[in-house]
Amino acid sequence: MSGIAPRLGIVILTYGESGVHAGLLESLWREGVEPERVLVVHNPARPGEPDPQLSRGCELLRAPRNLGYAGAMNLGIARMAERGADPVLLLTHDARLLPGSLGKMLEAAAEGERYGLLGPALVLAGSGEPFSFGGITRSNGTNAHRRQRPTADAAGVAACDWVDGGTILVRAAALAAAGGFDERFWSYCEEADLCLRVRRAGFGVGVALAAVAEQDPGGPKRPGAWTYLITRNGAEYARRAVGLRGVLTIELRAAWSVLYGLARVAARLVRRRPGGPGEPWAMAVGTARGAIDFLRGRWGPPPADLPGMGDLHNA
Encode pLDDT of 149-158 as tens digits.
999 999 999 9
Taking the model in full, what pTM does it have? 0.95
pLDDT computed for residue 245 by the predictor: 98
Quickly count: other Cβ atoms within 10 Å of residue 293's Cβ. 19
Q: Which residue has the higher pLDDT, 236 or 216?
A: 236
Give me the chain's average pLDDT, please: 95
pLDDT computed for residue 78 by the predictor: 98
pLDDT value at 306 more than 60: yes
Q: What is the mean pLDDT of residues 250-266?
A: 98
**Residue 162 DSSP code:** B
Q: By percentage, how much of the chain surpasses pLDDT 70?
A: 98
* CA 55/CA 236 separation, integer angstroms: 39
* CA 245/CA 126 separation, integer angstroms: 38
pLDDT band at residue 1 under the 50/70/90 scheme: very low
pLDDT value at 101 more than 80: yes
pLDDT value at 125 more than 90: no
pLDDT computed for residue 4 by the predictor: 53
pLDDT value at 252 more than 60: yes
- Collapsing DSSP to helix, strand or coil, 209 comes out as strand
Q: What is the mean pLDDT of residues 286-315?
A: 96
Alpha helices (H) along the chain? 21-30, 68-83, 101-111, 172-178, 190-200, 223-242, 244-269, 278-296
Question: To 10 degrees, what angle do helices 223-242 and 244-269 make?
Answer: 160
Residues 61-98: tens digit of each pLDDT:
999 999 999 999 999 999 999 999 999 999 999 999 99
pLDDT value at 110 more than 50: yes
pLDDT computed for residue 2 by the predictor: 41
* CA 93/CA 18 separation, integer angstroms: 10
pLDDT value at 140 more than 70: yes
Q: Which residue has the higher pLDDT, 266 or 127?
A: 266
